[in-house]
A = this chain, B = another copy of it.
Amino acid sequence: MAQKPSIPKGTRDFSPAEMTNRNYIFDSIKSIFRLYGFQPIETPAMENLSTLMGKYGEEGDKLLFKILDSGDYLSDFDEEQRYLITDIINREKEIISKLKNYQNNTSLIRFFESTKDDLFNIAEKKLVINEIIKKSEDGTKWISTLKLNTLKNEVINTSRDTFDNLLKKKIDKFVGKDKGLRYDLTVPFARFVVQYRNDISFPFKRYQIQPVWRADRPQKGRYREFYQCDVDIVGSDSLLNEMELVQIVDQVFAKLKINTVVKINNRKILAGIAEVIGEKDRIVDITVAIDKLDKIGLDKVNEELIEKGISQAAVDKLQPILHLSGSVSDKLTQLESAIGLSEVGSKGIAEVRTLFAYLDTLQLTTEVELDLTLARGLNYYTGAIFEVKAKDVAMGSICGGGRYDDLTGIFGMPGVSGVGISFGADRIYDVLTQLQLFPSETVDSTKLMFVNFGAAEEAFCLPVLAAVRKAGINAEIFPDKSKMAKQMTWANNKKIPFVAIVGENEMLQGKINLKNMVTGDQQLVDPQELIKILSA
């Protein structure tokens, strides 16, 4: 027997039992999203690399899975040819990545001035490749001779002035062949919003539940393929949206029976703090340190701030803020006196006040608290920051998000404010497993199996089976005339709660012997009674 096949590290198969549980989570979440007027979209698994690169920092770029149309095209060439082609591709990539940083026209012209030689160099090499491909047996596998010839003619017949632009287009087109698997749903969503801005009615409320891929080192609980479950509204500044997201969180976890606490902070308050203590430019360092308050304690946080070069005076000024206590309203009052003079800080306090006033009018199941140490995803959040934790299980956050003022700016459409949250399906799965909260029966399950004793019994059972299904009840007949024990084990493994046993006696009476697989009880029923019992 050959070696057992396997799947790539960090990826997973989902069995029927796991799928049922996962669908329970996704269906619960989706039903609440829809209740609040959010609509689904889907984007392709692969995006152009130009869409993905540079959006997740240097580390993120390295975690992108890249896709080749056909990884084999290089093998059609000999070693020298292959080296030449690889080199050109790499240089083109470099140039195009540089080009991406020059969206402003003046800079672009200056950039072209400085790289003309590089570009010409590539053009020349392309002509060389052209010759290579002509000689190669099947050049079409990589790029057609015709296309290369067209390029060559264009290069020869074009004046130097327009050549740069032309080549840029060619390069774009060529490099556009490079694709990557999406790393998250946020960047594809921003791309979607910009691409279809003329068709979208803003504010745009969408949800998206799809897998994402990261070439992370696989380890426990960290996968290279996993689902994200995002809900966002873009094109609206209203704090009603923040309120509704908290409501959605509340209702989703109430539905899933998970006790939660929603922690709320506001990036503007963090900015205000940094400003007031005189370290406006150090907001990231400060909030990263504050973020550790729970874990390492006040003394260590202060140490870290000093180590990072925050002045002693600033750290001293920060102390009252780290000691805020009391109700949300108390905290906001103390904060007001601490950072009220900062314009941005004051704005942040007002936002939090409004949001909590909204929340006070609701009957929430979840706890909601103001947590100034919450600094999650600081790099693009500009207003509210959310994080949700399960109360009865030690686990990281199971949901989080915030407001961002310029997500679509990276694709050239500035000034579209949005706010959104993301549910962590894998962690929610783990919480539900640990707390044994998955329902034992779901709409997915089969309710009834008919035992198969052979042709005559089959002929009796099939019309009954059809009637059961017509009543909307998931049911099946064991397809083969196998041993009774095998069939019962099969039903058991599939967790089918009822089994219909029809032998000669039952057929004579026109009845079905219905066995409850949980209690072991058996009863003789006619088809109508059968349907009634199963519908209960």
Contact = CB atoms under 8 A, between A and B. Distances in A.
A192 B16 contact: no
Contacts of A519: none
Contacts of A238: 479-481
A225 interface: yes
A66 B71 contact: yes
A39 B19 contact: yes
Contacts of A237: 480
Contacts of A35: 469, 472-475
A87 B74 CA distance: 11
A448 B510 CA distance: 51
Contact of A2 (B176, B411, B459): B411
Nearest to A173: B9
A353 interface: no
A466 to B, nearest CB: 7
A479 B211 contact: no
A8 interface: yes
A13 B82 CA distance: 35
A215 B201 CA distance: 34
A516 interface: no
Nearest to A447: B37
A476 interface: yes
Contacts of A50: 5
Given A42-B14, A70-B64, A474-B37, A413 B225 contact: no
A236 interface: yes
B476 A36 contact: yes
Interface residues of A, number: 110
A42 B62 contact: no
B475 A13 contact: no
A443 interface: yes
Interface in A1-25: 1-8, 11-16, 19-20, 23
Given A35-B469, A192-B13, A449-B37, A67 B69 contact: no
B37 A476 contact: yes
B195 A5 contact: yes
A47 B7 contact: yes
A334 interface: no
Contacts of A362: 466
A201 B485 CA distance: 13
A313 interface: no
Interface in A193-208: 194-196, 199, 201, 203, 205-206
A8 B48 contact: yes
A440 interface: no
Interface string A477-505: 11111000000011001100000000000
Interface in A137-196: 141, 176, 178-179, 181, 191-192, 194-196
Given A39-B446, A83-B83, A361-B463, 4 more contacts: A1-B412, A8-B44, A13-B41, A14-B40
16 contacts: A5-B191, A8-B47, A11-B44, A13-B192, A14-B40, A35-B474, A36-B469, A37-B474, A67-B68, A67-B181, A69-B215, A79-B83, A83-B83, A201-B493, A203-B479, A236-B480
A-B pairs with the 3 shortest C-beta distances? A37-B476, A2-B412, A16-B39
Interface of A: 1-8, 11-16, 19-20, 23, 34-37, 39-48, 50-51, 61-72, 74-75, 79, 82-83, 86-87, 90, 103, 141, 176, 178-179, 181, 191-192, 194-196, 199, 201, 203, 205-206, 211, 213, 215, 225, 233, 236-238, 240-241, 244, 361-362, 411-413, 443-444, 446, 449, 452, 458-459, 462-463, 466, 469, 472-481, 489-490, 493-494
